[in-house]
Amino acid sequence: MDTLFSDALRDLLADQCTPQVVRAIESQPNERPLWDALESSGFADAMLSESLGGAGLGLSEAFHLFAMCGAHSMPVPLGETMWARALLGQHQVAVPTGSITWAIAQNRANGELHADTVRMGRVADHAIMTDGSQAWLLPTATAAQSAAGFPLDATLTWTGAAVAQAQALPFVPDVRTLQACLYAAQLSGALMTVFERTLQYANDRQQFGRPIGKFQAIQHHLSVMSEHAFAARMAAQLGCQSDTLSPDRLRVAVAKARTSEAALEVAALGHSIHGAIGFTAEFDLQLLTRRLHVWRQAAGSESYWHTVLGQALMDRPQAQALDLIREVSDVH
């Protein structure tokens, strides 16, 4: 089943999510053609239960689709929507049409709900917002919107009246952990693609009468990239190892810490091997490496999740430290 869905998504994205489409959506958001193609293909409902019309994929199966989103620089919140629809359906909340993203928000004294950085906020139709004690499903069209760094992100603010009219959810998701798990999987896909493209470039680029990939220094860089890319993929898969829609927080900590750590190294080495061309807006590499840096920081960088893991070790007797390592690294 993993191969069936991932192969189908790969074919769809190769046709509908080209670098030209990604650039166009980033510069002047018009995500409807791409989103409509994803919606009509059924991928947005991939994790929704079969009883509600979805494919009923589990989290470990969805990993391959999340990674594919990263590999293709996905400019719409497909992974977020898949997971959000599954959670809404699980809690018997009517699933809205359109795309959904998530964010952690602040309740202001005047009743406003404010989120500084909503990932994919510019291109999402809805947002699941939580202040840690409550959660709401809100249409992004009713929020005041401003730029938030990355072209597809936005700062969103809803008035007190808009929040009062919004649908309060019967559950409060752990948004940081969910996002970290998703971004780790997307990072793994992007990391592998950067490595593969850099390897191909090194084999094609000629210097002094032979491919630059034949030079020992370049081979060393490529071996380091390979190590990071494959280790990150294994860690991200561990993060998605769960029998429910809620991932294990410590597994996610391992996944996000390792993939975020790899993002810095792989982006730097990829650009180094490509030389000056890798930084140019016209070259496709930057579509991936910009996302490596954004997803590395999103939902906590490696330092944040290393602290989570360190605290978990400190909270256990020293004799149980090895048991914790086994727990977070065991594959079901």
Domains, in order of start, for the chain: 1-98 (1.10.540.10), 99-173 (no CATH), 175-329 (1.20.140.10)
Q: What is the mean pLDDT of residues 256-266?
A: 97
Over residues 77-91, the pLDDT tens digits come to 999 999 999 999 999
Dist. CA 265–CA 228, nearest whole Å: 8
Residue 161 is encoded by which pair of tokens? 């009246």
* Burial group, residue 79, by CB count within 10 angstroms (0-12, 13-18, 19+): buried
Over residues 31-42, the pLDDT tens digits come to 899 999 999 999
Q: Provide the greatest CA pair distance for the chain.
A: 69
Residue 179 is encoded by which pair of tokens? 């996002």
pLDDT at 181: 98
pLDDT at 332: 60
Pairing of strands 135-139, 113-118: unpaired
Asked if pLDDT for residue 138 goes beyond 90, the answer is yes
pLDDT level of residue 209 (50, 70, 90 thresholds):
confident
Q: Can you tell me whether residue 126 is helix, strand or coil?
A: strand
Determine what percent of the chain is predicted with pLDDT higher than 90: 81
Q: What is the mean pLDDT of residues 272-291?
A: 90
- Do residues 224 and 191 touch, judged by C-beta distance below 8 A? no
Residue 202 is encoded by which pair of tokens? 């090194």
Pick the range with the lowest mean pLDDT from 117-131, 135-149, 196-210, 315-329.
315-329
Higher pLDDT, 177 or 315: 177
Dist. CA 94–CA 188, nearest whole Å: 32
**pTM of the complete model:** 0.94
Q: Of the candidates 142, 182, 148, 145, which has an alpha carbon nearest to the alpha carbon of residue 165?
A: 142
Dist. CA 121–CA 261, nearest whole Å: 25
Q: What is the mean pLDDT of residues 127-145?
A: 95
pLDDT level of residue 321 (50, 70, 90 thresholds):
low
CA-to-CA dists, residue 79 to 62, 110, 218, angstroms? 9, 33, 35
Q: What is the mean pLDDT of residues 220-244?
A: 96
pLDDT at 331: 64
* Burial group, residue 129, by CB count within 10 angstroms (0-12, 13-18, 19+): buried
- Do residues 70 and 185 touch, judged by C-beta distance below 8 A? yes
Asked if pLDDT for residue 281 goes beyond 90, the answer is no
pLDDT level of residue 320 (50, 70, 90 thresholds):
low
CA-to-CA dists, residue 198 to 136, 214, 225, 278, 310, angstroms? 43, 13, 9, 10, 34
Dist. CA 283–CA 201, nearest whole Å: 12
pLDDT level of residue 322 (50, 70, 90 thresholds):
low
Could you tell me the end-to-end alpha-carbon distance of the chain, in angstroms, rounded to an integer?
Answer: 17
Q: What is the mean pLDDT of residues 324-328?
A: 72
Over residues 143-167, the pLDDT tens digits come to 999 988 899 999 999 999 999 999 8
Which residue type, as a one-letter code, is found at position 93? V
CA-to-CA dists, residue 230 to 223, 234, 270, angstroms? 11, 6, 15
Q: What is the overall mean pLDDT for the chain?
A: 93
Asked if pLDDT for residue 211 goes beyond 70, the answer is yes
pLDDT at 151: 93
Q: Radius of gyration (Cα) for the chain, nearest Å?
A: 20
